[in-house]
Every structure is written in C-alpha cells, then in structure tokens.
Amino acid sequence: MFGLVAFWLPIGVTASLFLILFNNWNNGLLILLICVGINLSLLSVRLGFKGRFLGSARAGAMCGLSILLTVLAIEMLFPYCLPRDHAEIRDLTKGFVGSQPSPGASFVFMNEDQITGRGPVLQDRQGVDHRSWHNPGGKFVYYGYDPNLKASYVNLFHWNAAGYYDHDYQPEKSDGVFRIAVIGDSYVEAVQVPLSRSFHKLIEASLNQDLRAMHAERFQVLALGNSGTGQVSHHRVLREQAMEYRPNLVVLALSSNDFCDDDPELKRELILSSGAITPLIRALACHEYFAMAFAVRRLQDLKRNRIAISPELLQWSKQDLPRIESAWERTLAHVKLSWDFCRSRGIGFLLFYVGCDLEVKYLMDPDGTISQLKAMGIPHRKIQWDMERSARRVEEFCAIHGIPFVSLLDSLAAAQRQTGHQVFGDHYTIFGHQVAAQVLTCAVASTLNDGTSAALSLRGCLAQDFRHESQPVGAVASSTFPAGARLVPATGTVPESR
C-alpha cells in the first residue's frame, strides 16, 4: 500500500506543479524544465531508513521524468521532423502567438485616444501580449483584414481595468451623465476595429452632439463585450458587472449563434464544425507546445468529421428540431430575465439583433445563398431552408413580451446594396460598425423619447439611406481617418501625431 502511494506521489506532485505553472506562466519550455528538475532532485536522494518507500517514489519519479523528457523531445523535434505540420499549426495560431505585427500588415491602429488609469495607452509596440485574453490592464494586438480596403492590419489596444476593450470608467457617475451599458459577445467586444470606430463609441459621439434633444449633459456608452458568450452569460454580466456603473439604459446584443453559446453540447459542436481554435489548442499553442496542439487538432478533426452539419445552420431549418428549439427557448428566456431585471429597477432596455454574414447574403441574393448551402453536401440538400426564421423568432418573442427590439439585418443588407461596401469581414467591418451605429443611435433616441410607442419609432430607424456614409476607414484622405487611430505602415516607424 505504502509502495503504491509512494509511486504515485511524485507523479501527482509533478502534475500539480505543471498545472499551477501552466495557468500562470506562458513559457512552456521553462515549465517542463522545472518539472524535470524536481524529478531529478528526487532521483538524487539516497536510500535511507525507509528504503522501500523511497525506492517506490524514485520509480514514480523515473516514470514522470521519462514522460517529461519524451514530451520535451517531441516538442523540440517537431519543427524538424514534420515541418509542414508545424507550419500549419503555427499559421493556425498566428493571431495570438508572437509579439510583433505581421510583416504583411498594411496598417496599424494605435488607439491612442483610449483612456486608461495609467495614462497613454500604446507609445510603442513593445510588451504586447497576444495571449492574455481580457487581461485587465494588459496590452493586446488583433490581426485583421478589411475586405473593403483589401488590406491586412493590426489593432493595438489595452484591455481596461474590467478586462474589456473600452475606456476605463469609474463606477461613480457624475451628475448629468446618462450611462448606456452595451452587453454582448464578440460584436460588442469589437476588437476588429479601432475603439473610436466601434458602433458603441459612434453612438456615444452622435448622442453627445445633440444633448438638448436628449435632455442630458453628457452621454457615456460602456461596452461589456466578450466573445463566445450567449444570453446566459450576458444576464450574469448585467447583474454582476453592469449594475456597478449605474446605467440608465441597457442595450443588449443578440447574435444568431447565442443559442449555441448557451448550450454546452451545441457549443462544442459549433466550435468543432467551424474549425475554430478551441480553448485547449489556444492554451497549448500559447505555451508553444505546438506538437501537442497539433495532436489535439488531429483528434478534433476526427470528431468534426462525424458532425454532418453545423448546429448554427440548423436554426434555419423549417422543421422544428427539439434540441435547437430547446436551446433557443433557454436563450430567449434569459433575454426576458434581463428585460424583467431592468424594468423592475426603472432602467431602460433595448434588444438588438446583430445578424450574420449569411443572413445578409440571403437578403441580397436568396436563390444564390440557398444554392450555396445545398452545395455543401447531402445533409444540407435535405434541409428546407428558412433563412429569416431566427430574426422572425426573436421579433415575435419581443412583440409578445413588449420588449423594445430592433433588427439590424435589413439595414446592413441595404447599406451593402446601396454602397457596395462589405458590412461583414471578420465580424462587422469598420463600415458595418458605421451602419450599426446609425441605426442604433436612432433606436436609442426613440427608446428614450418615445417609450409609449417604441415599436413604431424603432421601425422608423430602419428606413435610412446609407449612401452618404463615409468610405471605409483605410483610405488616406483625412475625411475617412478615424479619430484616435493612426494608420501607419506595419513595418515602418510610428509618425508624429496628427
């Protein structure tokens, strides 16, 4: 009995130490070397009074050391033995591994207008951490591509003190300040664009231009966005974080994939079917364990091959699918919880439907979009598609419960049709944020000024002409240059402030 305990003791200690270091450090090689050193130290202990106990412990240490050295050897040999596979996993994770902007990037957004409690945000590119996702006060870089500009870029910024991509705000609210809390997923997170060009900051700027009509001295629009979250998480953020800032109005974003994010099983399937980077692969790659990340990727590929169709697409089937319907019921139930929570406290509320690229494509070309869906394989050909079902589902739910609601789908499609500019790239493009801001500014004003006939007022916000919108940010012309974001060659030096 004691021998068995002694055998597993060094293995358990090594595993515990590895996990502790793994969760606190990003230097994977150093973590392995520390664990190797611990086991070597145990092996160097001489047998004494309790020789059998130490002998079993040494056997366990030898076993653990063998595993550690094997992993270390595989990681070191991986780039040389399988260079193409190593390059594949490096390319897959290049968005958050490394510390310098991609040499192929054309522009760098510096976000020098972002207000933090520590003064200027990014004076240079040093110390940027691609791996500390939503790390309060940490620097971060996002690699992106603008389909309108047809150029790659990097977006350099700080996470604020609460871990969000926004300015730092004090919980205490000054007299005369009207606060709007925008809660949502990656569309609210908006790391794809300069902060000043995110839809929530554009809303803030528009509202502050007409303070008399709004009966306020100043507006503040706070963004509480976190990618990969649904309405279950959003309700928790509303109760536990948004209320700290004493908002007068809550604007809640609803994405078409929220029902998957709210259901653990559907979320796993969604991540696998989309080929997205899972948290495990991200964690391994962040520590530069590329061989292990590659192995996990291959195992996940096997699981993905067993998924006939993405659960996100199943929401647009005309047929009622029990697990999809159940997940949507959970999502909408949490929307109502958020609505009831705000209403009971006298806080204004507005729900908006984010939409997705596929829904906009359908509005612009219904037949072509359905044909492309059916061309994806036999399971897709068997489905009777209803691409307006999700937006209609949300609108009907809000009508039943009296929830102020606006969908951005028609406006996004109209803007793209009128201007020829893409509203979606990786999430909203800069132009997409402009369109969303224009509609939501109108919707917020309608919600504030006309609570008794909000539905009629919100409909009026959708009937807009977007042809006068500025060209997508990226052109050199000063009229298209975003305030607080400097465009510079990615491989060049940062010019003097304009």
- In a domain? residue 295: no
Percent of the chain with pLDDT over 90: 50
Q: Which of 110-119, 137-146, 440-449 has the lowest mean pLDDT?
A: 110-119
Q: Which residue has 């047809």 as its token pair?
A: 150
Q: Of 388 and 120, which is predicted with more confidence?
A: 388
Of the three residues 81, 97, 126, the one that is the final residue of a domain is 81
User: DSSP code of 350?
Assistant: E
User: DSSP code of 409?
Assistant: H
Q: Of 400 and 112, which is predicted with more confidence?
A: 400
Evaluate whether 257 touches 234 at the Cβ level (below 8 Å): no
C-alpha 474, offset from chain centre = 23
102 closest CA partner among 139, 76, 128: 128
| Confidence check: pLDDT of 134 > 90 | no
Cα→Cα distances 151→105, 111, 147, 415, 470, Å: 7, 19, 7, 21, 18
CA torsion through residues 75, 76, 82, 83, sign? positive
User: How buried is 83 (Cβ within 10 angstroms: 0-12 exposed, 13-18 middle, 19+ buried)?
Assistant: exposed
Q: Which of 192-196, 274-278, 305-309, 383-387 has the lowest mean pLDDT?
A: 274-278
Confidence class for position 226, pLDDT limits 50, 70, 90? very high
| Confidence check: pLDDT of 103 > 80 | no
Confidence class for position 232, pLDDT limits 50, 70, 90? very high
Q: CB 67: neighbour CB atoms within 10 A?
A: 15
- In a domain? residue 284: no
Whether residue 178 sits in one domain with residue 105 = no
- In a domain? residue 131: yes
Write out the residue range of the structural domain in which residue 100 sits.
83-166+486-498
Whether residue 192 sits in one domain with residue 60 = no
Whether residue 199 sits in one domain with residue 340 = yes
Evaluate whether 440 touches 251 at the Cβ level (below 8 Å): yes
Looking at residue 496, its pLDDT comes to: 32
Which is it for strands 348-353 and 249-254: parallel, antiparallel or unpaired?
parallel
Whether residue 345 sits in one domain with residue 232 = yes
Number of H helices, E strands in the chain: 21, 11
Q: Of 127 and 483, which is predicted with more confidence?
A: 127
- In a domain? residue 6: yes
| Confidence check: pLDDT of 124 > 90 | no
Evaluate whether 192 touches 427 at the Cβ level (below 8 Å): yes
- In a domain? residue 342: yes
Looking at residue 498, its pLDDT comes to: 27
Whether residue 70 sits in one domain with residue 24 = yes
Q: Of 475 and 231, which is predicted with more confidence?
A: 231
Q: CB 462: neighbour CB atoms within 10 A?
A: 16
Q: Which of 63-72, 234-243, 300-309, 371-380 has the lowest mean pLDDT?
A: 300-309
| Confidence check: pLDDT of 470 > 90 | no
Q: CB 402: neighbour CB atoms within 10 A?
A: 11
* CATH number of the CATH domain containing 181: 3.40.50.1110
Confidence class for position 489, pLDDT limits 50, 70, 90? very low
- In a domain? residue 183: yes
Confidence class for position 348, pLDDT limits 50, 70, 90? very high
User: DSSP code of 291?
Assistant: H
Please give the mean pLDDT across all residues of the chain.
82
User: How buried is 358 (Cβ within 10 angstroms: 0-12 exposed, 13-18 middle, 19+ buried)?
Assistant: middle
- In this prediction, residues 461-485 reach a mean pLDDT of 45
